[in-house]
A and B are shown apart, each in its own frame.
Chain A
């Protein structure tokens, strides 16, 4: 029995301050198989893998590798034990050659001090030949396409003589032909009794290569089954099948005239011909998978990203927005997705963080008393918990930081408020408070756009939902049409659209 699984993870818990990222998760991987992890964004798949390879310590739980309990303290430890991970976000040394990257940190040596530069390249060439891949080992990493970089990363994992290879969404940047190459490599690895843990959102892929599938939801374990026993519908149900309780208190409110309108918006490859409108008092949801272009669309509207073409109206007036300042002056607010990256000023006080977008309104010299008064008023309304208003924002929990950011945008009194993943990484209590607030704001006659990768959230609070996939809109649903299955289909490449075409085709014939 002990030999049946190469890897067992039992009762894995990982708590971040205020968030349970993993709560009693189970995983059992058989050697020589592809074991796929599935779940919505934020279900805890990547976190579990990071815990496995020692990038993050687990809060509780046991990991058994080849029948022995292990505690990897660093990635080096896990590589030594034969577990390698191909990260979702690659981090190659761009200015060095392919071969340099391949043998980084374990260069072939001539003697104790000198690298064997000849062997560095010949061994790299031999490796790619063995894998049947065409990669120029002398090329600088930065000159390779992302797909080729991924291939180098895969070759690196293979060269470690691993017994477990983890691939986190390896095909997201690959073309179809390259995906075939990858699957061939996976088959080779399987034949060598290597276990592969595969993370992906793409259904067709998963059923092609998986032997076992484990599903997670909100950091908890849902179940494991042989792929042969599952199908599309069953899998989606397992992934999103949670009950919608009163997590999303939606206050019905009258929906008025069109307030905000976007026509044929384009920006690079991320935003292609996006057109939509939002009415007064309406909450418009944006659903899709990570990288679908939703954030980029909003950044383009807000002047953070260059607009290639497209027109924008608010309250019947056409806007020409060139910078976030223009957007704010035209009564648009954007709560960004990346709270730490471009949301909070960690070192500044709650007061400064609340008032920053509105500093122009406090005169010269600035009326610090008024700033404090406004901060108090808005944060009290949002029930922000903080010791004092002078506390540095980085000392607050994620949920309270988010409330301060919401206070910031409410203070600018926007007509259109865009919120991008407003509840990511914050606890359940604050989550439903934010939902309630958004609903209330719509009731006050604002137009609201909510981006969320959590299906229940976007369905719970939206009046209509726009679904995007690879920069394009694949569908718009009214509230009575909402279903998680339909959203998922639109979001995973519009297979629903193809099905519709098929149906139409069969009707016509």
Chain B
């Protein structure tokens, strides 16, 4: 009897932290094939490579937790990148000729404001027009991408050093972009664990009818969720522009929304709403990063990488569904 109890305790530990087990197994497997994978240098490369998608994942996590989805984050990132880049161009041939060169902070805030506006629109459509989030954000995805191309036909480049610092700079030994990701993660975790808003998102995602009866303003909560989501996307866009020293209307942030949704999902954020652990989301982001980076290190071609990613997404959700189905 005792050993059975111990066994079930152990299996519970594994099933509760299965995502970290998968991560460790992946790291070991890739390291066996290529020793260079498990090195400090590569770890830095992996983290800086995933930081932008990480920040965007923290956003869409909240939308999924509220039993919604946000498909617009990639386009919002692009719109924010273009607007902030245009404000902080250092070149002689500016997109907005005659505009004085702004300090980096203006560009950053400008991009984020754009994000908040789109987020408010998304949230308002979901909460008050009762549109399905998939449809509402599909609409804004198309609109934002089109706006990017209307604003500028080609890339906006040659940005001020201050602005570029955000994407490429270092504070001591740490990359600015990674620091931003860590700060955003702390904010997300704090929000979910320690604020009324965060707890309300769990409640609304878990049972919106019960949330209403318990006195939660479901509509306000949803609007804030989508504003947070687009805020993260816009910040991601600013980081992208700073990192690549340009913003391209056609390619910046393209399909990032899918990567963000995938990372959140692999991290155990359930599409049925109401389930999310911040630590799981970090694991999800790292898993996607390890696959991206590791497959390159192993010399596997691109298409193989996609196949592995696809299998991991399907597998992790199937695993989650079974775990939760048994409990229901």
Contact = CB atoms under 8 A, between A and B. Distances in A.
B49 interface: no
A366 B274 contact: no
Contacts of A362: 196
Contacts of A383: none
Interface stretch (B17-25, B32-40, B85-93, B198-206): B198-206
Given A344-B207, A347-B274, A362-B196, A325 B213 contact: no
Interface in A279-333: 302, 304, 323-325, 327-329
Contact of B274 (A342, A348, A395): A348
A343 B214 CA distance: 8
A368 B194 contact: yes
A342 B210 contact: yes
Contacts of B327: 392, 394-395
A345 B195 contact: no
In this complex, the member of B202, B213, B275, B327 whose beta carbon has the largest number of chain A beta carbons within 10 angstroms is: B213
In this complex, the member of A352, A356, A394 whose beta carbon has the largest number of chain B beta carbons within 10 angstroms is: A356
A78 interface: no
Contacts of A475: none
A323 B218 CA distance: 11
B207 A346 contact: yes
A408 B210 CA distance: 12
Given A352-B202, A356-B216, A394-B327, A345 B210 contact: yes
A323 B213 CA distance: 9
B322 interface: no
B213 A346 contact: no
A360 B199 CA distance: 11
Interface in B184-228: 190, 193-196, 199-200, 202-203, 206-207, 209-217
Nearest to B275: A347
B195 A342 contact: no
Interface in A381-419: 392, 394-395, 408
Contact of A324 (B193, B203, B213): B213
Nearest to B202: A348
Nearest to A371: B199
B212 A342 contact: yes
B203 to A, nearest CB: 6
A343 B213 contact: yes
A352 B201 CA distance: 12
A323 B214 CA distance: 10
Nearest to A365: B194
B206 A356 contact: no
Main secondary structure of the interface of B (DSSP, over half): helix
A346 B207 CA distance: 8
A346 B206 contact: yes
Contact of A365 (B195, B200, B210): B195
Interface in A150-176: none
Contacts of A408: 214
B203 A345 contact: yes
Contacts of A304: 212-213
Interface in B91-144: none
A344 B213 contact: no
A366 B207 contact: no
Contacts of B2: none
B4 interface: no
B199 A359 contact: yes
A359 B215 CA distance: 10
Nearest to B191: A365
Nearest to A363: B196
Contacts of B202: 345, 347-348, 352
Contacts of A348: 202-203, 206, 274
B272 to A, nearest CB: 9
A348 B199 CA distance: 10
Contact of B200 (A341, A344, A347, A359): A359
B210 A328 contact: no
A364 B195 contact: yes
A267 interface: no
A342 B209 contact: yes
A357 interface: yes
A208 B196 CA distance: 59
A356 B195 contact: no
B224 to A, nearest CB: 14
Given A364-B196, A365-B195, A392-B327, A345 B206 contact: yes
A220 interface: no
Contacts of A368: 193-194
A336 B203 contact: no
A158 B124 CA distance: 49
Interface in B256-296: 274-275
Contacts of A395: 327
A328 B195 contact: no
Contact of B196 (A323, A342, A366): A366
Contacts of A347: 202, 206, 274-275
Contact of A323 (B194, B209, B217): B217
Contacts of A487: none
Nearest to B328: A394
A395 B326 CA distance: 11
A251 B74 CA distance: 64
A298 B52 CA distance: 50
Contacts of A334: 213
A128 B202 CA distance: 50
A360 B217 CA distance: 12
Contact of B199 (A341, A342, A356): A356
A117 to B, nearest CB: 32
Contact of A336 (B193, B195, B213, B274): B213
Given A366-B195, A394-B327, A408-B214, A341 B209 contact: yes
In this complex, the member of A304, A325, A347, A365 whose beta carbon has the largest number of chain B beta carbons within 10 angstroms is: A347
A235 to B, nearest CB: 38
A355 B18 CA distance: 30
A334 to B, nearest CB: 7
Given A365-B190, A365-B195, A394-B328, A356 B214 contact: yes
16 contacts: A302-B213, A324-B214, A341-B209, A344-B210, A345-B202, A345-B207, A346-B207, A347-B202, A347-B206, A348-B203, A348-B274, A352-B202, A356-B214, A356-B216, A392-B327, A394-B328
By Cβ-Cβ distance, the 3 closest A-B pairs, closest first, are: A365-B194, A342-B209, A325-B215
